[in-house]
Structure 1
Amino acid sequence: MKKIFLISLVSMLLFTGCAFFQSKAQKSVEELVNDGMEDFEDGKYRNAIKSFETLKDWYPFSKYAILAELKIGDSYYHLKEYEQAIFAYEEFENLHPRNDAIPYVLYQIGRSYFDQMDTVDRDQSSTRKALETFDRLIKTFPENEYARKAKAHQTQCYKILAGHDLYVGMFYYKNKHYKAALNRFKSVLYNYPDVGVHQFALMLLPECETSIKNIGEKKDDDKREDTSESTYKKFLNFWKNIFT
């Protein structure tokens, strides 16, 4: 009986001792936020994330927890891990929809999509998501400094989307799918009239319309072939000047 009692006592003391030393080793919220910010400023974003995540776990009701949530998103953004950054920023917005940092958070979500945008000959999902986020920021906080910054990125998004329609339209045009090409060029004129690329769509529209009307005439078809090649060369020059 004494042996069992001694074993229990030793076990209890060991457990209490471990808990005591663990408690002493646990950093304070101030230490964690200082460590996180120092690593963030030094570009050690992985270490910063660890400190901020620990702060969130140990001190979820601290006044620094909101800062930690925000800096986790910023750290992932600087690491160019944009999906993780977007997740962190969106989580922040969901948890704190009235926080003063929301305009900045929306801007950073838009930037995370913006920085993933591909060239105009590729899929434009990221461009559209960036544009959607910047639009929401500008409409919700029109006087905010981040709304003003978003407008410059918004213009670039429109330009890329217009370039994408031009690229696809030119592909259709070169392959004699004139109706499909016509729709793409109209899209450039109607949806993106002020981004500096509409002049090329204006040049191609009448050629597409003429080609559609005369599609059954062989002579005209030969003539269109020459026109198509000539226009395509102009398009390539235009492309180099605007999109490269």
Structure 2
Amino acid sequence: MGIERMLRALKSSFRLTSVLLLALALSGCSAFSLFGEKKIVEEEIIPAEELYDKAISQVEDQRYLSAQKTFDKLERQHPYSEYSERSRLMTVYIAARTGQYQKTILAADRFLALYPSSQDAPYAMYMKGAAQYNQMKDITRDQQTAEDAIATFQAIINNFPNSRYAKDAKERILIAKDQLAGKEMSVGRYYLGNNNYTAAINRFRTVVEDHQTSTHVEEALLRLTEAYLALGLVNEAKTAAAVLGHNYPSSRWYEDAYKLLQKQGLAPEVESGNWLSNR
């Protein structure tokens, strides 16, 4: 009798399982939905042109977050359509417009990797450089972003010299280099104030040699005069002051350099045999 009851129970269980499986098949549900799993709903495919027009309209209304979602959908549904290139370029624009600098750089790099010969490549590169430029920090902090901006803007000048962005790239390079020179001056003054004259000279020399167009060259030459005098390197001090006077005769920095030499009975004079002689 025990065996017969077991067989009846198994038959009953089998019938219940069959009914459940049939119900699932008829309803179109997956087995996972029995355990609370979400059903996978296929995304509605919308024509690429329609998505692009919608996104552009959202951009015009300054609904940038919505526009980006629409462009993302376009790229996801139509990765090889004629609108993909324009969509990815607009992603660069939206990131820049909303002040997302790192996203701008990444989006620009992606666009340039996919479309290196695009007529919009200069624009993408310029937006990347502008994002780096806008992240430049004050001269007391690391200047890697300034160096990155200079490299990007120089690439525009080298690769797209006739583009509308080349002129502005040159101007921004000058400003970014002035930033680098300011950093060198800041460190140099610190060393000078702590009587580390050799280290200070190296910093001021970098300004004079590598950043000749910066606004810091005059002061750098004065500080070189000061540091050389402190080390007893009279010829170098006289030459630094002479170069300062020759290039910036009306400069207040030259007045200070002249007074420093005068206190020791010296006068500005170019002496041969040092790195400043030919400047």
TM (norm. structure 2) is 0.69
1:184 correspondence with 2:203: yes
User: More relative contact order in 1 or in 2 (CA 8 Å, sep 6+)?
Assistant: 1
Q: How many correspondences in the alignment?
A: 207
Aligned to 1:96: 115
Letter in structure 1 aligned against 2:25: S
1:198 to 206, 213, 217: 217
Matched, 1:8 2:57: no
* Secondary structure in 2 matching 1:30: helix
Q: Secondary structure of 2:219's match?
A: helix
Cα deviation, residue 104, structure 1: 0.9
Higher helix share: 1
Aligned match of 1:207: 226
Task: State the one-letter code of the partner of 2:104.
Answer: A
Q: Say whether residues 1:167 and 2:155 are aligned partners.
A: no
SS in 2 for 1:158: helix
Deviations 1:115-168 (A, max 9, x none): 100111111010000001111111111111111121111111011111111111
- Percent same amino acid among aligned pairs? 28
Give CA deviations for 1:185-243 in whole Å, capped at 9, x if unaligned: 111111111122211111111111111238xxxxxxxxxxxxxxxx9xx9xxxxxxxxx
Asked whether the 8 Å contact 2:139–2:186 carries over to 1, the reply is: yes
1:127: which partner in 2?
Answer: 146
1:140 and 2:165 equivalent? no
Q: Which runs of 4+ in 1 moved over 6 A?
A: 1-6
Return the match for 1:52 from 55, 64, 71.
71
Q: Aligned equivalents of 1:79 and 1:210: distance in 2?
A: 52
For 1:151 and 1:42, how far apart are their aligned partners in 2? Answer: 33
CA distance in 2, matches of 1:173, 1:191: 20
Residue of 70, 75, 78 corresponding to 2:89: 70
Code of the residue aligned with 1:76 in structure 2: it is A
Q: In 2 relative to 1, CA 165–6 (structure 1 residues): closer, same or farther, beyond 3 Å?
A: closer
Which consecutive unaligned segments of at least 5 residues does structure 1 have?
A: 13-20, 215-230, 235-244
Pair 81,7 (structure 1): closer, same or farther in 2 beyond 3 Å: closer
One-letter amino acid of the counterpart of residue 163, structure 2: N
Q: What amino acid is aligned across from residue 30 of structure 1 in structure 2?
A: E
> Any idea what the Cα deviations from partners look like across 1:47-75, whole Å, max 9, x if unmatched?
11101110000011111111111111211
Q: Distance in 2 between matches of 1:42 and 1:152?
A: 32
Note the aligned Cα RMSD (angstroms): 2.3
2:80 counterpart of 1:61: yes
2:176 is matched with which residue: 157, 160, 163? Answer: 157
